[in-house]
Structure 1
Amino acid sequence: MRYRRFGRTGWQVSEVGLGGAWFYGRPEEGLLPDAHGVKMVEHALELGVNYFDTAPLYGRGRSEEVFGLALEGVAESHYLATKVGYFPEPFDYTRDTIWRGFEASLKRLRRDRVDLLQVHEAEQAGWEGIFGRERTLETLVEIRSQGLAQHIGLTGSDLTLMSEILKETGEFVSVITFCKYDLLTQEARDVLVPVAAAEDVAVIAASPLHGGLLGSKRDRFIENGRYLELHARLRRVEALFAGDPQGLVNAALRYLLSDPRVTVLLCGASDPEELEMCATVSDGKYLTPDVIRQIEEA
């Protein structure tokens, strides 16, 4: 496992992190058992993963509970991030609700502080919801000042909004992009990543397989027409790696890690084999500039 500098925090984090949304499991299986989740986190630590991301929304709190169980008493250095603004009430970014939700998260996580506390889906808060009196930023700074969160970050899909927030304030140390930077779309590469790099903000790439379209959900999504506008591009990208013995999933992960401005690639693995595949990508070679050019021109 290789490690990268997490923006201006000084942290050295694993290139591959474990995301907590996997706790949903597969639709046909339902939520994964707690014991399975704990073993996944323990195995991630064995593989050198030291960055973990969860949220109270994932499994309605059960994802946080699993991370709390698995990481309680762990001696190895690690970083744990969670989120506010989406649970217990959706899209409520007021001071009282943020505090209430965060205090519940700390109980589920079995700790008295977190390393990173993030705004869940900043576009739902909007500019006023972030910067207004007794709203998100003011409340997160208050939480941080009390030593309950070491740093604060942003997540969301409105790349322009997040870019403007980063330029407006130097408070946030990280941003998460979701389905905005992968083999099929490079919107975040052009809009958000340059701003984050200029502000020395860590970039966390979530859903590197574009919600599963580049992975196990491909056939199902094509059949039901999901991501229809990307199907033609998917076929072109698949053709580029048709003869690659490591396959499209491996290429998708290596593509993101080939960008030095990407700090962490969040792996949403739900079984040990998927987790090992994600982690070992960090030990391999990055894509060449020529291959990257072919991907982005496909």
Structure 2
Amino acid sequence: MRTADRRIALGLYRTGHTRHLLEGALELGVTDLDTAFNYHQFASHRTLAAIAGDLLSAFTISTKVGYFPDGHDLDPARLRAAVEQSAIELGRTPDTVLLHNPESSVADLANACAALLEMREAGFCKSWGISSWDPRSLLEASWEIPRPDVAMVRAGLMVSAGILTALDELVDRIQITEMWGMAPFAGDAADPIWQTVDTSTFLASGQHGNALQAGVAAAFAIPEVTRLAVGTSHVDHLTEVVEGSRLEVNSETVTAYRKLLHERATVRAGAPSWKDR
């Protein structure tokens, strides 16, 4: 994948909604925003419109629906209402609407996907898809859904072999053609592990970057995604992320890493439990 094919999205989960941050993102060339109906205590869309309504036309906006004040619900009527409300509160239609963690209500998946497809056809968004933290349960159910335009999944060195394998199967099953990534540092880029693991191992020869930047580059390849949502409230951190997205990775190293990850998971799965010992 060429670096020109990669995009960084400013993820607004646990991220301060400030005009300063949005202006800084645009100055860095970050023109993708990722939010959700339930982010910022169900006020993300309204807050964005209030603090930077004049800037929103410069962004490609993705949002998610599926969580409500009373919990997770994939009822088609509630989803349609949430999509309509999202457009009203933003003051514009979102570019992409994603089904938020459909693995939490697998039995309702087919009808929920059909509802988002209807909303796309009705002009309430330009594309639709699914956003899954752990897709393994999606593969356990028997369902048929319309092919989504995009799938947003976990990416990076903290993603387990089981999830990566499930993603491969999901892509084949529903013919996903565009993959986006999220949470490249599992929600905490300040975790000491990022200072102890030599992430530069994944960089191509001649490429140089700090641990965070190399981790971002690796996340675009594990699994292969075209867009990576990263949450931060600081422009300097976002600057590092953008610089990391421009680094090339060693594809052979990535392949070897995934193979070792799979082999290790296989060995663990085949190990006797304490009851068998």
| TM-score, scaled relative to structure 1 | 0.71
The amino acid that maps onto 1:22 is: R
Q: Secondary structure at the match of 2:61?
A: strand
Q: Whole-Å Cα distance in 2 between the matches of residues 166 and 150 of structure 1?
A: 28
Q: Whole-Å Cα distance in 2 between the matches of residues 293 and 278 of structure 1?
A: 25
Report the Cα offset of residue 181 of structure 1.
4.4
Q: Whole-Å Cα distance in 2 between the matches of residues 282 and 240 of structure 1?
A: 14
Out of 183, 191, 197, the residue aligned to residue 238 of structure 1 is 197
Out of 114, 135, 140, the residue aligned to residue 159 of structure 1 is 135
Out of 188, 205, 208, the residue aligned to residue 181 of structure 2 is 205
Q: Secondary structure at the match of 1:175?
A: strand
Q: Whole-Å Cα distance in 2 between the matches of residues 297 and 236 of structure 1?
A: 22
Q: Whole-Å Cα distance in 2 between the matches of residues 40 and 166 of structure 1?
A: 43
Q: What is the match of residue 270 of structure 2? A: none
Out of 206, 218, 225, the residue aligned to residue 255 of structure 1 is 218
Report the Cα offset of residue 148 of structure 1.
0.7
Q: What is the match of residue 106 of structure 1? A: 87
Out of 12, 26, 29, the residue aligned to residue 20 of structure 1 is 12
Q: Whole-Å Cα distance in 2 between the matches of residues 255 and 286 of structure 1?
A: 6
Q: Whole-Å Cα distance in 2 between the matches of residues 157 and 75 of structure 1?
A: 27
The amino acid that maps onto 2:147 is: E
The amino acid that maps onto 1:116 is: T
> Are 1:43 and 2:24 matched, yes or no?
yes
8 Å contact kept, 1:152–1:174:
yes
Out of 157, 163, 168, the residue aligned to residue 182 of structure 1 is 157
Out of 285, 288, 291, the residue aligned to residue 248 of structure 2 is 285
Out of 73, 78, 100, the residue aligned to residue 120 of structure 1 is 100
Q: Whole-Å Cα distance in 1 between the matches of residues 210 and 255 of structure 2?
A: 15
Report the Cα offset of residue 120 of structure 1.
0.7
Q: What is the match of residue 145 of structure 1? A: 121
The amino acid that maps onto 2:104 is: Q
Deviation by residue 1:233-265 (Cα, 9 ceiling, x = unmatched):
x699715659x9733322211112245831111
Q: What is the match of residue 129 of structure 1? A: 108
Q: Whole-Å Cα distance in 2 between the matches of residues 295 and 190 of structure 1?
A: 10
Q: What is the match of residue 269 of structure 2? A: none
C-alpha change, 1:71 and 1:145, in structure 2 (3 Å) is farther
The amino acid that maps onto 1:192 is: L
Deviation by residue 1:150-195 (Cα, 9 ceiling, x = unmatched):
11110123323446899933431111223x6424534443221464
Report the Cα offset of residue 82 of structure 1.
0.7
8 Å contact kept, 2:148–2:176:
no
| TM-score, scaled relative to structure 2 | 0.76
Q: What is the match of residue 272 of structure 1? A: 235
> Are 1:72 and 2:53 matched, yes or no?
yes
CA RMSD for the aligned pairs? Answer: 3.4
8 Å contact kept, 1:55–1:63:
yes
Q: Whole-Å Cα distance in 1 between the matches of residues 251 and 177 of structure 2?
A: 25
Out of 43, 50, 68, the residue aligned to residue 87 of structure 1 is 68
Query: Which runs of 5 or more residues in structure 2 are unaligned?
Result: 262-277
Percent of aligned positions that are identical:
20
Report the Cα offset of residue 76 of structure 1.
6.8
The amino acid that maps onto 2:24 is: H
8 Å contact kept, 2:222–2:254:
no
Q: Whole-Å Cα distance in 1 between the matches of residues 53 and 152 of structure 2?
A: 25
Q: What is the match of residue 167 of structure 2? A: 192
C-alpha change, 1:167 and 1:250, in structure 2 (3 Å) is farther
